[in-house]
Structure 1
Amino acid sequence: MKLSVNGTEHEINDLEPDMPLLWVLRDELGLRGPKYGCGIAQCGACTVHIDGEAVRSCQVPAGGVWGAITTIEGLGTPEAPHPVQAAWIAHQVAQCGYCQSGQMMQAASLLAETPTPSDAEIDDAMSGNLCRCGTYPRIREAVKTAAAKLSEG
């Protein structure tokens, strides 16, 4: 099976096609950004992009992947973070940090579709990503900051 992950083509052999993409990313490719949270697509910790669309990788069979996969590791780099990543740092969003890669991937997807979201649009888009630490107000502010940065061009 071939998968394009973070701009690199990977050939993965001896894989059951119904294995969740999350386990392929973590166990076969060694990517630790997407996290296992609930296993039923309810918490968002495993969120990645497939062709820019935010999806819950715990529920996507690896054999059913339809396009290029981006994980938090491919969103930006330490030297050139994506505006969402930079905003997360600026607003000190993370406490425990467990959910944050999924939160950032969901936010990046939102901003790609809705460049200047309202508070209600942010809350709606982010509602499927749970944060046990309760950093929701900082998440909203970070999304607004990233939106402003992205609109600068």
Structure 2
Amino acid sequence: MTNLTRLLVLAISWMWGAGAAYACSCDPVSLEAGFDRAQYVFAGKVVRADHHAWLIEVERAWKGGERLARTIKLMDVYATLDCEFFFQPGRRYVFFAILAKGGREVFYHPQACNWTRPLQSTRVPVEGSEPLWLEDFIAREHGPGEQPRADALDRTSPR
């Protein structure tokens, strides 16, 4: 009987804990709408991670690149919420982001419910041909992208 009681308590505890796990609930957004909604669309590599803040080496930008530094700070406004991000150092991503400023520091927020994801992780259907990687589809629609022009990480205002 004690084994049955232990098993029942364990099962209830497991189910109680499972109820606390949530997923970000998002309506689907087209790539075009996501691109329009973002202020910045760029590909880059995570060079440092620290408690939902990351330094990103921007490799190419399709939107907002003329205002991006080569290395930017990305912060997760969704940390501890259902839509929090987990970017891994050394991995490359395509980011859909907006500008955020805290005092004199310029940083960016990835947008939840948009197309931010690791490079070569998502194929986009293309009418009349094989699906393309997300970043290849963006390049096809918006050009090859540009390298960022700004050099300083701690600029106080976008150009």
1 or 2, which has the higher strand percentage? 2
Both proteins in one fold, TM over 0.5: no
Tell me the TM-score normalised to structure 2 length: 0.22
Structure label with greater radius of gyration = 2
Tell me the TM-score normalised to structure 1 length: 0.22
